[in-house]
Amino acid sequence: MSLLKRAEQSLASCFEGAVGKAAPPRLVEAMRHAVFSGGARIRPQLTLSVAIACGDDQPQLSDAAASALELMHCASLVHDDMPAFDDADIRRGRPTVHKAFGEPLALLTGDALIVMAYQVLLNAGHAAPDRLLALMQNMTSGVGLPDGIVAGQAWECEPRADLGRYQRAKTGALFVASTCAGALASGREAQPWYALGACLGEAYQVADDIRDVMGLSADLGKPTGQDCLHTRPSAASELGLGGALDYFQDLIQKAVDSVPACTCRGMLQHLVRNESERLVPSAAYSAYRMPGVQPAAALSA
Protein backbone atom coordinates (compact mmCIF):
# COMPACT_ATOMS: atom_id res chain seq x y z
CA MET A 1 0.00 0.00 0.00
CA SER A 2 1.33 3.46 -0.88
CA LEU A 3 1.98 5.97 1.91
CA LEU A 4 -0.76 8.23 0.57
CA LYS A 5 -3.29 5.42 0.52
CA ARG A 6 -2.37 4.37 4.06
CA ALA A 7 -2.62 7.99 5.23
CA GLU A 8 -6.05 8.38 3.57
CA GLN A 9 -7.40 5.12 4.94
CA SER A 10 -6.11 5.77 8.47
CA LEU A 11 -7.64 9.22 8.47
CA ALA A 12 -11.03 7.90 7.35
CA SER A 13 -10.95 5.15 9.94
CA CYS A 14 -9.76 7.41 12.81
CA PHE A 15 -12.36 10.04 11.89
CA GLU A 16 -15.20 7.50 11.99
CA GLY A 17 -13.94 6.07 15.27
CA ALA A 18 -13.87 9.51 16.92
CA VAL A 19 -16.93 11.23 15.49
CA GLY A 20 -19.36 9.14 17.50
CA LYS A 21 -23.02 8.55 16.84
CA ALA A 22 -25.64 11.25 17.23
CA ALA A 23 -23.36 14.28 16.88
CA PRO A 24 -25.00 17.32 15.25
CA PRO A 25 -25.28 16.27 11.58
CA ARG A 26 -24.40 19.59 9.95
CA LEU A 27 -21.30 19.94 12.15
CA VAL A 28 -20.18 16.46 11.13
CA GLU A 29 -20.86 17.30 7.48
CA ALA A 30 -18.78 20.48 7.79
CA MET A 31 -15.95 18.52 9.45
CA ARG A 32 -15.98 15.97 6.62
CA HIS A 33 -15.91 18.82 4.10
CA ALA A 34 -12.83 20.22 5.87
CA VAL A 35 -10.96 16.93 6.14
CA PHE A 36 -11.85 14.91 3.04
CA SER A 37 -11.19 17.34 0.25
CA GLY A 38 -8.19 16.04 -1.64
CA GLY A 39 -5.40 17.35 0.60
CA ALA A 40 -1.86 16.27 -0.29
CA ARG A 41 -1.54 14.55 3.14
CA ILE A 42 2.14 15.46 3.25
CA ARG A 43 2.20 15.61 7.09
CA PRO A 44 0.72 12.15 7.74
CA GLN A 45 2.88 10.70 4.97
CA LEU A 46 5.92 12.11 6.76
CA THR A 47 4.80 10.58 10.04
CA LEU A 48 4.18 7.20 8.45
CA SER A 49 7.43 7.15 6.50
CA VAL A 50 9.47 7.99 9.61
CA ALA A 51 7.49 5.39 11.58
CA ILE A 52 8.39 2.78 8.96
CA ALA A 53 12.03 3.88 9.09
CA CYS A 54 11.89 3.35 12.87
CA GLY A 55 10.38 -0.14 12.74
CA ASP A 56 6.65 0.72 12.93
CA ASP A 57 6.09 -1.93 15.60
CA GLN A 58 2.74 -0.39 16.60
CA PRO A 59 1.18 0.53 13.24
CA GLN A 60 -2.14 1.45 14.85
CA LEU A 61 -0.37 4.09 16.94
CA SER A 62 1.51 5.40 13.88
CA ASP A 63 -1.77 5.66 11.98
CA ALA A 64 -3.41 7.54 14.85
CA ALA A 65 -0.46 9.91 15.23
CA ALA A 66 -0.45 10.65 11.50
CA SER A 67 -4.21 11.19 11.39
CA ALA A 68 -4.29 13.39 14.49
CA LEU A 69 -1.70 15.74 13.01
CA GLU A 70 -3.60 15.96 9.73
CA LEU A 71 -6.78 16.84 11.68
CA MET A 72 -4.88 19.66 13.39
CA HIS A 73 -3.69 20.86 10.00
CA CYS A 74 -7.27 20.82 8.65
CA ALA A 75 -8.51 22.70 11.74
CA SER A 76 -5.95 25.43 11.17
CA LEU A 77 -6.96 25.75 7.50
CA VAL A 78 -10.64 26.16 8.40
CA HIS A 79 -9.93 28.95 10.87
CA ASP A 80 -7.27 30.60 8.65
CA ASP A 81 -9.73 30.77 5.76
CA MET A 82 -12.35 32.64 7.80
CA PRO A 83 -13.09 36.34 7.19
CA ALA A 84 -11.13 37.34 10.30
CA PHE A 85 -7.97 36.06 8.54
CA ASP A 86 -7.66 35.25 4.84
CA ASP A 87 -11.36 35.62 3.98
CA ALA A 88 -10.84 32.91 1.38
CA ASP A 89 -13.77 31.60 -0.65
CA ILE A 90 -11.97 28.66 -2.19
CA ARG A 91 -9.72 25.93 -0.79
CA ARG A 92 -8.51 23.03 -2.91
CA GLY A 93 -10.93 24.10 -5.63
CA ARG A 94 -14.03 23.88 -3.40
CA PRO A 95 -15.87 26.42 -1.24
CA THR A 96 -14.20 26.95 2.13
CA VAL A 97 -16.09 25.70 5.19
CA HIS A 98 -17.50 29.09 6.16
CA LYS A 99 -18.65 29.66 2.57
CA ALA A 100 -20.36 26.28 2.42
CA PHE A 101 -21.70 26.09 6.00
CA GLY A 102 -21.57 29.63 7.42
CA GLU A 103 -19.23 31.22 9.94
CA PRO A 104 -20.70 29.74 13.13
CA LEU A 105 -20.22 26.17 11.92
CA ALA A 106 -16.77 26.98 10.51
CA LEU A 107 -15.69 28.26 13.92
CA LEU A 108 -17.03 25.12 15.61
CA THR A 109 -15.57 22.85 12.93
CA GLY A 110 -12.07 24.08 13.75
CA ASP A 111 -12.66 23.66 17.48
CA ALA A 112 -14.13 20.20 17.03
CA LEU A 113 -11.24 19.05 14.83
CA ILE A 114 -8.68 20.18 17.43
CA VAL A 115 -10.45 18.16 20.10
CA MET A 116 -10.92 15.23 17.72
CA ALA A 117 -7.16 15.11 17.12
CA TYR A 118 -6.67 14.35 20.82
CA GLN A 119 -9.57 11.88 20.75
CA VAL A 120 -7.94 10.00 17.89
CA LEU A 121 -4.76 9.56 19.94
CA LEU A 122 -6.76 8.51 23.01
CA ASN A 123 -8.66 5.96 20.88
CA ALA A 124 -5.40 4.34 19.75
CA GLY A 125 -5.35 2.23 22.88
CA HIS A 126 -3.35 2.56 26.03
CA ALA A 127 -1.02 -0.39 25.47
CA ALA A 128 1.96 2.01 25.45
CA PRO A 129 1.00 4.94 27.70
CA ASP A 130 4.50 6.42 27.56
CA ARG A 131 4.42 6.61 23.79
CA LEU A 132 0.89 7.98 23.85
CA LEU A 133 1.79 10.76 26.27
CA ALA A 134 4.92 11.59 24.27
CA LEU A 135 2.81 11.80 21.11
CA MET A 136 0.33 14.10 22.84
CA GLN A 137 3.12 16.35 24.08
CA ASN A 138 4.66 16.37 20.62
CA MET A 139 1.37 17.32 18.93
CA THR A 140 0.61 19.95 21.56
CA SER A 141 4.01 21.57 20.99
CA GLY A 142 3.35 21.64 17.27
CA VAL A 143 0.05 23.43 17.70
CA GLY A 144 0.09 25.52 20.87
CA LEU A 145 2.30 28.04 22.66
CA PRO A 146 4.97 29.24 22.47
CA ASP A 147 6.00 28.02 18.98
CA GLY A 148 3.17 25.98 17.46
CA ILE A 149 0.95 26.85 14.51
CA VAL A 150 -1.53 28.86 16.59
CA ALA A 151 1.36 31.03 17.78
CA GLY A 152 2.56 31.28 14.19
CA GLN A 153 -0.79 32.60 13.07
CA ALA A 154 -0.82 35.01 16.03
CA TRP A 155 2.48 36.55 14.94
CA GLU A 156 0.49 38.02 12.03
CA CYS A 157 -1.41 40.08 14.60
CA GLU A 158 1.73 41.50 16.22
CA PRO A 159 3.19 44.87 15.23
CA ARG A 160 6.64 43.23 14.89
CA ALA A 161 7.53 39.64 14.04
CA ASP A 162 10.81 37.91 13.25
CA LEU A 163 10.36 36.22 9.84
CA GLY A 164 12.24 33.07 10.79
CA ARG A 165 10.40 32.60 14.05
CA TYR A 166 7.06 33.32 12.36
CA GLN A 167 7.68 30.77 9.61
CA ARG A 168 9.03 28.13 11.98
CA ALA A 169 5.89 28.44 14.09
CA LYS A 170 3.32 28.92 11.33
CA THR A 171 4.29 25.89 9.27
CA GLY A 172 7.53 24.38 10.55
CA ALA A 173 6.15 23.35 13.94
CA LEU A 174 3.62 20.91 12.51
CA PHE A 175 6.17 19.43 10.11
CA VAL A 176 8.56 18.90 13.01
CA ALA A 177 5.72 17.31 14.99
CA SER A 178 4.96 15.09 11.97
CA THR A 179 8.47 13.66 11.56
CA CYS A 180 8.99 13.35 15.33
CA ALA A 181 5.62 11.59 15.74
CA GLY A 182 6.75 8.77 13.46
CA ALA A 183 9.72 8.10 15.71
CA LEU A 184 7.75 8.43 18.96
CA ALA A 185 4.98 6.11 17.76
CA SER A 186 7.68 3.49 17.20
CA GLY A 187 9.24 4.02 20.60
CA ARG A 188 12.33 5.81 19.29
CA GLU A 189 13.95 9.15 20.06
CA ALA A 190 12.43 12.06 18.16
CA GLN A 191 15.57 14.21 18.00
CA PRO A 192 17.25 12.68 14.88
CA TRP A 193 14.10 13.49 12.89
CA TYR A 194 13.77 17.09 14.01
CA ALA A 195 15.88 18.64 11.21
CA LEU A 196 13.96 16.92 8.44
CA GLY A 197 10.69 18.39 9.70
CA ALA A 198 12.17 21.81 10.39
CA CYS A 199 13.81 22.20 6.94
CA LEU A 200 10.83 20.85 5.06
CA GLY A 201 8.41 22.99 7.06
CA GLU A 202 10.37 26.16 6.41
CA ALA A 203 10.70 25.22 2.73
CA TYR A 204 6.96 24.76 2.60
CA GLN A 205 6.34 28.24 3.98
CA VAL A 206 8.91 29.84 1.64
CA ALA A 207 7.28 27.98 -1.26
CA ASP A 208 3.93 29.42 -0.22
CA ASP A 209 5.42 32.92 -0.36
CA ILE A 210 6.97 32.21 -3.76
CA ARG A 211 3.76 30.81 -5.18
CA ASP A 212 1.85 33.77 -3.83
CA VAL A 213 4.14 36.23 -5.63
CA MET A 214 4.44 34.17 -8.84
CA GLY A 215 0.68 33.77 -9.10
CA LEU A 216 0.92 29.99 -8.86
CA SER A 217 -1.35 29.57 -5.84
CA ALA A 218 -4.37 28.99 -8.07
CA ASP A 219 -2.80 25.64 -8.99
CA LEU A 220 -3.21 24.64 -5.33
CA GLY A 221 -6.78 25.92 -5.32
CA LYS A 222 -6.07 29.04 -3.26
CA PRO A 223 -6.37 32.77 -3.99
CA THR A 224 -3.13 34.57 -4.84
CA GLY A 225 -1.66 37.84 -3.60
CA GLN A 226 -2.78 37.14 -0.05
CA ASP A 227 0.51 37.91 1.70
CA CYS A 228 0.85 41.36 0.23
CA LEU A 229 -2.84 41.99 0.82
CA HIS A 230 -2.52 41.15 4.49
CA THR A 231 0.99 42.61 4.86
CA ARG A 232 2.15 39.49 6.61
CA PRO A 233 5.86 38.65 6.79
CA SER A 234 7.00 36.98 3.58
CA ALA A 235 10.32 35.51 2.41
CA ALA A 236 9.63 36.76 -1.12
CA SER A 237 9.28 40.36 0.03
CA GLU A 238 12.24 40.12 2.42
CA LEU A 239 14.69 38.27 0.14
CA GLY A 240 13.27 39.13 -3.28
CA LEU A 241 11.87 36.40 -5.53
CA GLY A 242 15.26 35.18 -6.72
CA GLY A 243 16.59 35.03 -3.17
CA ALA A 244 13.49 33.17 -2.01
CA LEU A 245 13.85 30.60 -4.82
CA ASP A 246 17.50 29.98 -3.89
CA TYR A 247 16.60 29.73 -0.22
CA PHE A 248 13.86 27.21 -1.05
CA GLN A 249 16.33 25.01 -2.95
CA ASP A 250 18.81 25.20 -0.05
CA LEU A 251 16.17 24.13 2.42
CA ILE A 252 15.09 21.17 0.28
CA GLN A 253 18.73 20.06 -0.02
CA LYS A 254 19.17 20.37 3.75
CA ALA A 255 16.01 18.33 4.29
CA VAL A 256 17.28 15.61 1.94
CA ASP A 257 20.70 15.55 3.63
CA SER A 258 19.20 15.46 7.12
CA VAL A 259 17.48 12.08 6.70
CA PRO A 260 19.27 9.76 9.12
CA ALA A 261 20.93 6.61 7.82
CA CYS A 262 18.26 3.91 7.70
CA THR A 263 16.83 1.35 5.30
CA CYS A 264 14.17 3.86 4.20
CA ARG A 265 16.53 6.75 3.50
CA GLY A 266 15.93 6.57 -0.26
CA MET A 267 12.15 6.51 0.14
CA LEU A 268 12.20 9.54 2.43
CA GLN A 269 14.50 11.51 0.17
CA HIS A 270 12.27 10.66 -2.78
CA LEU A 271 9.22 11.91 -0.81
CA VAL A 272 10.98 15.21 -0.08
CA ARG A 273 12.01 15.74 -3.72
CA ASN A 274 8.53 14.91 -4.98
CA GLU A 275 7.03 17.41 -2.58
CA SER A 276 9.55 20.04 -3.65
CA GLU A 277 8.50 19.61 -7.28
CA ARG A 278 4.82 19.84 -6.34
CA LEU A 279 5.38 23.05 -4.36
CA VAL A 280 7.65 24.93 -6.75
CA PRO A 281 7.81 23.14 -10.12
CA SER A 282 11.28 23.29 -11.66
CA ALA A 283 9.66 24.74 -14.80
CA ALA A 284 8.64 27.81 -12.79
CA TYR A 285 12.13 28.05 -11.34
CA SER A 286 13.74 27.95 -14.81
CA ALA A 287 11.21 30.41 -16.19
CA TYR A 288 12.17 32.93 -13.55
CA ARG A 289 15.78 32.73 -14.76
CA MET A 290 14.67 33.44 -18.36
CA PRO A 291 14.33 37.20 -18.78
CA GLY A 292 11.05 38.39 -20.22
CA VAL A 293 9.11 35.21 -19.53
CA GLN A 294 6.29 35.23 -16.98
CA PRO A 295 6.65 32.17 -14.76
CA ALA A 296 2.95 31.40 -14.75
CA ALA A 297 2.81 31.73 -18.53
CA ALA A 298 5.79 29.39 -18.89
CA LEU A 299 4.05 26.84 -16.71
CA SER A 300 0.80 26.86 -18.63
CA ALA A 301 2.63 26.81 -21.99
Residues that bind a second copy (CB under 8 A): 18-28, 75, 79, 82-85, 102-108, 110-112, 114-116, 118-119, 122, 126, 129-130, 132-133, 136-137, 140, 143-148, 150-151, 153-158, 161
At its nearest, how many Å lie between a second copy and the CB of residue 256?
30
Angle between the N-to-C axes of helices 103-123 and 59-81, in degrees from 0 to 180, rounded to the nearest 10: 170
Residue whose C-alpha is closest to residue 152's, from 114, 261, 160, 144: 144
Specify the residue, 227 or 275, whose C-beta has the smaller distance to a second copy. 227
Specify the residue, 115 or 218, whose C-beta has the smaller distance to a second copy. 115
At its nearest, how many Å lie between a second copy and the CB of residue 266?
36
At its nearest, how many Å lie between a second copy and the CB of residue 145?
4
Q: Note if the bond before 146 is cis, omega within 30 degrees.
A: yes
At its nearest, how many Å lie between a second copy and the CB of residue 289?
37
At its nearest, how many Å lie between a second copy and the CB of residue 153?
6
Specify the residue, 137 or 282, whose C-beta has the smaller distance to a second copy. 137
